[in-house]
Amino acid sequence: MSVTAPEPQRVREATLEELHRLRLPLPPPDFPLVWEPGDQIELRPGAEIEARAACLNVVLARAYGMPPELAVHWLAEARLIERLTPPEWQFVADGVGDERAFALHVEALFALSWLLGIAMDLDPLRTAAEGLMERLPNLAAGESFDSWRRRTLAAPRSAVTAAEQLDLYYCLDWSLQECERRRLPLPGQIDSNAAGQRRWALEWAVVFAGPYHGAPPGWEQVDLST
C-alpha cells in the first residue's frame, strides 16, 4: 500500500545531523534528494523481500564453500531459482564470478533482514550484527524456505521508516567514499563497500512513484553511481 513520502528536505536535514554527529564530511549543498515532495512510496511486498534475502543467503553460503549441488537443490525445493539474477545463478551453479564480491552481500542481506524486522538495528558504525545468520535459513541443517518463514514471522518496517534509512545510507555512501579518498579516519567498523551494499538493498526495496521515477529496478539494475 503506497503512502505519501515524508518531506524530503526534512529527512535530509536529519540525515545531515547524523553525519555531523558521526564527524563525517557532509555532501555538497546540491547533492540530490532521493525523492521529491508529493511522491508516493511503498515497500516491496514482504514475500518478495524474504525471497531476495533467501537467495542472497544461498549466494553467501556458496561464497563460503557450500557445494553447488546442495545450493541448487535448496533453491529448487524453495521454488526460488527464477528469483536469482543471471550473475547469481552462474556463481551458485557453476562458481563463475568473484567470490569476494559476492561475500560483500552480507551487508545487503543485513539491510534486507532489517527491512523484514528480523534485525533490530542497522547501525551505521558496525558491521552486520552478530547472530544474523541464525535468523536466516539454516542451510546446513536443511531448514526449508517455508520453515524459515514460519520460524521468523517477519514484520516488515514501514515504507516511511525505510525511506528515512535510505536517505541516510545514500548520503553515508558518499561520505565514506570521501573519507577514503581523502584518507580520513572512518568513524566505525563499516567502510564505503558495506554502506554501498546496505544502500543497494534499500534502493531496491523502497519503491517510489512520481514524475521523476520510472519502474522499480531489478536487483542488478539498482543505480549506485550517484
Give residue-wise pLDDT tens across range 164-204: 999 999 999 999 999 999 999 999 999 999 999 999 999 99
Q: Containing domain of residue 200, as a range?
A: 3-44+158-209
What was the pLDDT predicted at 129?
Answer: 79
Average the pLDDT over 34-43 and give the result.
98
- Give domain status of residue 226, yes or no: no
Q: Is the pLDDT of residue 224 over 90?
A: yes
Number of domains in the chain: 2
Question: Which cell numbers in the block locate residue 104?
Answer: 560483500
* Cβ contact 78:148 at 8 Å: no
What was the pLDDT predicted at 130?
Answer: 80
What was the pLDDT predicted at 131?
Answer: 86
- Rounded distance, CA 92 to CA 64, Å? 11
What was the pLDDT predicted at 149?
Answer: 97
- Domain co-membership, 75 together with 133: yes
Distance of CA 97 to the CA centre of its chain: 20
- Domain co-membership, 68 together with 130: yes
Question: How many CA within 13 A on the CB side of residue 22?
Answer: 26
Q: State pLDDT tens for residues 94-113.
A: 999 999 999 999 999 999 99
Distance of CA 63 to the CA centre of its chain: 18
Choose the final residue of a domain: 106, 131, 152. 152
- Domain co-membership, 187 together with 117: no
- Domain co-membership, 100 together with 187: no
Task: Specify the residue for cell string 528480523.
Answer: 118
What was the pLDDT predicted at 85?
Answer: 98
What was the pLDDT predicted at 226?
Answer: 85
- Rounded distance, CA 202 to CA 164, Å? 10
Q: Which of 38-47, 127-136, 158-167 has the lowest mean pLDDT?
A: 127-136
Q: Smallest Cα–Cα separation from 128: which of 218, 53, 213, 77?
A: 53
Which whole-number Å values give the CA distances from 30 to 12, 27, 80, 83, in the listed order?
A: 12, 8, 41, 37
- Cite the DSSP H helix spans in the chain: 8-21, 46-63, 68-77, 86-94, 99-103, 105-116, 145-152, 159-182, 192-205
